[in-house]
Amino acid sequence: MDPTRLAESAADLNLKLMRWRAMPSLNLDKLSSVKCLLIGAGTLGCQVARMLMAWGVRKITLLDNGRVAMSNPLRQSLYTLDDCLNGGDFKAFAAAKSLKRIFPAVEAKGEVMAIPMPGHPVTNQEEKSVVDDCSRLYDLVDSHDAVFLLTDTRESRWLPTLLCASANKITITAALGFDSFLVMRHGPGPFSSAHAKTSSVDMDNLTLSDKGGKRLGCYFCNDVVAPTDSTANRTLDQQCTVTRPGLAPIASSLAVELFVSILHHPDGMFAEGDITNSTSSSGSSEPPLGILPHQIRGSLFQFSQMTLVGHSSNSCTACCDTVVSEYQEKRNRIPASSNQSSQLIWRISPDSQN
C-alpha cells in the first residue's frame, strides 16, 4: 500500500484505457522511456512538462537560468509563492522538484545555465564560461531523444536548433505572440541519412533513412536575416513575454500532442508534413493519432487554427548543410581544452554568412 507505488499504478490508467478502447497501437513503453529536454522552464515549459507526464513520459530535464519571480506562479503552473521567496529559487530546480511532488516516479532534473546566443556580446572574462555552456548544451542535446524549444527570444533558439540538426534529434518549437502562437516540428538534419543515431529509446521508427523527399524546415528556415539581440532596445514593459493567459496552455498541449504523434507515426521524424484534410503521407493507412502537421499556427483573436508546411532552406542560418557541416568540422577539429575553442561558437554564428 505504498502511496508512491499506488500513484505510479494509477497514473497510467487513462493511457491504458485509451489503448484498450481506442488505440491498440499506443506504445506506453516508448513513451515512458523517451528522454525529453525542455529548454525554457517558463509558462510554456511548465505546461509542456505536465502534458508530457500526462502522456506517460517519465524522463524530463528542464533547462533555465532564471529565478521564480512573484509574477510567475499565476501563469507558470509548477511554481507557488514559496518558490518566490528570498530572491526566488532557480526555475529549473523548482520545476523539477514540483514535478516530483506531483508524481514521485518521474525522473525530473533541473539544469541551470544560460544559452549562448548570437548577437549578444561576450567579454573576455566570459569567454570560457560561454564555451563551457556550449559544450554542456551539446552534451544535454546528445543525451536526450527529443528537445523542446520554449524560450522567449529568437536568438536563444539558434544554437539548440543547430545542435539538434547536427545530432538529428526530434525538435519541437512553441512560440507565442500576444494572441497568436506557432507550434512546429523541425525536419531531420541535412545529413540524417548518413548520420542517423540510435538512442536509449527503441527509435526504429525515428531513424529511418530519408525518403528522398524535401526536408521539412526548422524555425529559422523562413528567416531572411540572421538572429541578433532582440532584447537590447526593449522598454521595461517589453522585458517579459506579454500574452493572453490561455495562449500558452493551448500551444503547449499542441506541442506535446505533435511530439506523441511523431513517436507513433510509421515514418517518425521523417514523416512529410500533413495539412487538414490531406491524404496521409504514409499511404492508405492513416497514422493512429491522425494527421502529422509540420506547423500549426493559431490565433485567439479570430479563434482560428491552420496547418502549414514549410520546406528547408539551403540558406538557413541554423540547419542548412553548409552551417551544420561547418559546425561539425570545427567541433571535431578543435579540442575543447584548446585556447582556440573560445572562437568556436563565433566562427559558426549566422553573422559569418553575411
Q: For position 224, what pLDDT does the model report?
A: 64
Q: For position 230, what pLDDT does the model report?
A: 64
Query: What SS3 string covers the chain?
Result: CCHHHHHHHHHCHHHHHHHHHCCCCCCHHHHHHCEEEEECCCHHHHHHHHHHHHCCCCEEEEECCCECCCCCCCCCCCCCHHHHCCCCCEHHHHHHHHHHHHCCCCEEEEECCCCCCCCCCCCHHHHHHHHHHHHHHHHHHHCCCEEEECCCCCHHHHHHHHHHHHHCCEEEEEEECCCEEEEEECCCCCCHHHHCCCCCCCCCCCCCCCCCCCCECCCCCCCCCCCCCCCCCCCHHHCCCCCCCCHHHHHHHHHHHHHHHHHHCCCHHHCCCECCCCCCCCCCCCCCCCCCECEEEEECCCCEEEEECCECCCCCCCCCHHHHHHHHHHHHHCCCCCHHHHHHHHHCCHHHHC
Q: What digits encode the pLDDT tens for the residues 159-186?
A: 999 999 999 999 999 999 999 999 999 9
Catalytic residue among 46, 84, 218, 240: 240
- 9 — pLDDT class (breaks 50, 70, 90): confident
Q: For position 221, what pLDDT does the model report?
A: 92
CA distance 159 to 112: 17
Cell triple for residue 332? Answer: 571535431
Lowest mean pLDDT of 19-23, 26-30, 85-89, 206-210, name the range. 206-210
- 54 — pLDDT class (breaks 50, 70, 90): very high
Residue 200 scores a pLDDT above 60 = no
Q: What is the mean pLDDT of residues 192-221?
A: 57
User: Comparing 238 with 270, which gets the higher pLDDT?
Assistant: 270
- 57 — pLDDT class (breaks 50, 70, 90): very high
Is residue 316 annotated as a catalytic residue, yes or no?
Answer: no
Q: What is the mean pLDDT of residues 295-315?
A: 93
Q: What digits encode the pLDDT tens for the residues 77-129?
A: 999 999 999 999 999 999 999 999 999 989 999 999 999 988 888 888 888 88
* Report for 221-225, 270-274, 278-282: range of highest mean pLDDT: 270-274
Q: Are 317 and 352 in contact (CB under 8 A)?
A: no
